Amino acid sequence: MRDSKPWRLLAEMIVVPTATWAHTLFDVLAWASSAALGLALFRWRLRGVAERIAGQVGPGYYIALAVGAITSAWLFGSANTLQGPSPTLSHSIAGALVGAIVGVEAYKLVRGVRGSTGTLFVGSFSLGVVVGRLGCFFAGLPDRTYGIPTSLPWAVNLGDGVGRHPVQIYESVSMAVFLAVYIAGLARGSAWAMRRGFYAMSIAYGLQRFCWEFLKPYPKLVGPLNVFHVLSAGLVIYGWVFWARSLADERRAQERALSVLRPDHEPV
């Protein structure tokens, strides 16, 4: 009787079949689906936005984006995994997003470009996270993105007999919800989706990622926070500050448009 409880708990877990090659499979699916969605949104709602952005930026914009994303992805991913019991180099989607933002905003500052230029990437990035995190989930323990143990009814067994939070699914579902809200905003032509969608995505991604990081056994950086807590907080602050700046720019533009000379101002 004493040994029955562990086996009963194991039986109550959701056993997930895992394979390391699942990560590559879902990465390919993520890239393909993201590209397809990006093209669909461009043809449906974002053609005008794309033409405006193309008139503001040059090839250097995409170079700054790529260099920032790649460098930061490996820098912050490795900063996390090199602290573990089996140090290894790694990359991170959160790090890639932060690096891309830093690279692009620096380029825009030098070129004098103001306003959001990331609208075209919102749908693609969000869907990429939705699909890509499924690859992390089905890759199992070797992927090192698993959650801490839990006794919740939806605990998953990734092969070691331990019930864990399915943190990858949490993130996938969170970004799927945001993506649905974003597409609904595009359908209505909402200003937040058309003009500030990238800032909204940065806030949404940063908030949900910050929460789920408490459910991962990553090395701590400051108190209870790991390196991705810091990155996530930075994304939320960035999105909030630039959202507010965008609104202020719009208000100033409207005030200038209304400041026209009245007849009594004309010379006589």
Over residues 66-75, the pLDDT tens digits come to 999 999 999 9
67-94 in b/e burial notation, b at 16+ Cβ within 10 A? Answer: ebbbbbbbbbbbbbbeeeeeeeebbbbb
Residue 94's closest CA among 116, 75, 120, 107?
A: 75
Residue 116's closest CA among 98, 129, 101, 94?
A: 101
Per-residue model confidence (pLDDT) at position 106: 97
Return mean pLDDT, the chain. Answer: 91
Per-residue model confidence (pLDDT) at position 84: 66
Per-residue model confidence (pLDDT) at position 225: 97
CA 197 to chain centre: 12
Per-residue model confidence (pLDDT) at position 214: 98
CA 62 to CA 43: how far, in whole Å?
A: 21
Per-residue model confidence (pLDDT) at position 212: 98
Spans in the chain with pLDDT lower than 50:
1-8, 11, 267-268
Per-residue model confidence (pLDDT) at position 34: 97
Per-residue model confidence (pLDDT) at position 166: 98
Does residue 161 come out as left (phi exceeding 0), alpha (psi in the -120 to 50 range) or beta?
Answer: left
